[in-house]
Amino acid sequence: MPRVIFHVDLDAFYASVEQRENPALRGKQLIIGADPKGGEGRGVVVTCSYEARKLGARSGQPISRAFRLCPDGVYIRPNLGLYAEVSYDVMEFLRKFADKFEQVSIDEAFLDVTQSCSRYGSPIELAVQIKTQLKKEHELTCSIGIAPNKSAAKIASDLHKPDGLTYVDPDRVKEFLAPLPVTKISGIGKKTEPKLRELGITTIGDLAGCSARDLYERFGKSAVWLWAIANAEERVEVQDSYVMKSIGAEYTFETDMDDWSAVDKQLLSLIDSVHKRLLEEGKAYRTVTLKIRFTGFETYTRAKTIRHPAKDRGIATRIITELSEEFRKRDRKVRLVGVRLSGLEGPSVGKAIPRTLDAFAADDS
């Protein structure tokens, strides 16, 4: 049975998070990085929206050049704490779909779904479900590449961004790779590409047709690895190592809710879920966090840390009730609520988050 590997890459992650938090930024030429100072700034672009990319702006680019390309753009400084928090939530969301899960950066991950995809009908159907739920629950888009190995899946995810989905037939991986530029392989950059071009190697197919011995003699061990990728012989496993840092769950209401009795009922259900998991893992918690999102994606988190680790459900319930009190008088409808227990103590290595739980969860994608 061929492996089914997903590479999930969040689209323009930092910029998309900023646009999610402030919808007025959607559709704008958004550049995240240093202050351009009217074109005199000395820093660089961290990332930018696709609207800015269409005009030539790029991550790593001098901010002064970005300003010349996008004089009407919106320039903001990066909020790394926000991006890390959103990344955590999204990665926990993705993890529940995978047999094995490997986060490789703040905005991308590999999922081995060889077994789990059968429950969704097909790899493509599972990918569509992930994309649909991600957009609904987190208001973000991603591009997914599907292939029998990690390298081909990563290449595939980059082909139709943003919001792309590319499936590579497991029997035709070499055919899929062959016409693509050799620079699509991660690891072939500005130094290696000109040397390959001197040998007449411009496509992945060209590289696949070379002698592995000749490549080794000219470029060393790394070239043999690249040759294996080009020939669809890469078989690296998805590295599923996971240390549990928190246990959480969240719930998105079908329609935004202004009935606090219904909100309270859902919070109690979430507390039951996370407390049950806490006991199953043999852990105790020190911090209880409430997450609440109103209509318009206005999101708040409130947390309280207790002096000694606890396993008691009643303590968590009391804290969540206290933390939610400040929001009850607001004339706003609730879109989502979440509960998280963190500062965990107990067995050091956790299991993968069950799929039955709706878990809490330089950018150039």
pLDDT tens digits, one per residue of 258-299? 999 999 999 999 999 999 989 988 899 999 999 998 988 788
What would you report as the CA-atom Rg of the chain, rounded to the nearest whole angstrom?
A: 23
Q: What is the pLDDT of residue 304?
A: 93
Q: What is the pLDDT of residue 243?
A: 65
Examine the domain organization and report whether 98 and 131 are in the same domain. Answer: yes
Mean pLDDT score of the chain: 89
Task: Identify the residue with better confidence: 151 or 296.
Answer: 151
Domain with residue 33: its CATH number is 3.40.1170.60
Examine the domain organization and report whether 200 and 216 are in the same domain. Answer: yes
Q: What is the pLDDT of residue 251?
A: 86
Rounded to whole angstroms, the Cα distance separating 180 from 304 reads 52
Residue 363 lies in a domain: no
Domain-ending residue, one of 80, 108, 123: 80
323-332 pLDDT, tens digit per residue, is 999 998 888 8
Torsion of CA 45, 50, 55, 60, to 10 degrees: 20
First to last CA, the chain: 31
Neighbours of 317 (CB within 10 A): 17
Number of domains in the chain: 4
Examine the domain organization and report whether 273 and 198 are in the same domain. Answer: no
Domain-ending residue, one of 205, 230, 255: 230
CB 77 within 8 A of CB 32: yes
Cis peptide before 309 (omega within 30 of 0): no
Examine the domain organization and report whether 100 and 72 are in the same domain. Answer: no
* pLDDT-derived band at 353, boundaries 50, 70, 90: very low
CB 94 within 8 A of CB 101: yes
Give percent of the chain with pLDDT exceeding 70.
94
Q: Give the active site residue among 92, 102, 108, 137.
A: 108
CB 164 within 8 A of CB 157: yes
Rounded to whole angstroms, the Cα distance separating 52 from 38 reads 17
Q: What is the pLDDT of residue 348?
A: 46
* pLDDT-derived band at 32, boundaries 50, 70, 90: very high
Residue 352 lies in a domain: no
Domain-ending residue, one of 129, 148, 167: 167
Examine the domain organization and report whether 118 and 153 are in the same domain. Answer: yes
Strands 334-342 and 108-112: unpaired
Domain with residue 269: its CATH number is 3.30.1490.100
Rounded to whole angstroms, the Cα distance separating 177 from 169 reads 11
* pLDDT-derived band at 58, boundaries 50, 70, 90: very high
How many residues in total does the chain contain? 365
Q: What is the pLDDT of residue 364?
A: 56
Q: Determine whether 139 is exposed, middle or buried from the number of CB atoms within 10 Å of its CB (0-12, 13-18, 19+).
A: middle
Q: Find residue 143's DSSP bridge partners.
A: 9
Q: What is the pLDDT of residue 215?
A: 87
Q: What is the DSSP letter of 181?
A: B
Answer yes or no: 108 catalytic: yes
Question: Who's near 365: CB < 8 A, 6+ residues apart?
Answer: 9, 10, 11, 12, 13, 107, 108, 143, 161
pTM here is 0.72
CB 70 within 8 A of CB 52: yes
152-186 pLDDT, tens digit per residue, is 999 999 999 999 999 999 999 999 999 999 999 98
Residue 365 lies in a domain: no
> Could you tell me the residue range of the domain that residue 220 belongs to?
173-230
- Rounded to the nearest 10 degrees, the angle between the axes of helix 260-281 and helix 313-324 is 150
Among 198, 197, 196, 194, which Cα is nearest to 226's?
196
Helix (H) or strand (E) holding 267: helix 260-281
Residue 186 lies in a domain: yes
Examine the domain organization and report whether 98 and 39 are in the same domain. Answer: no
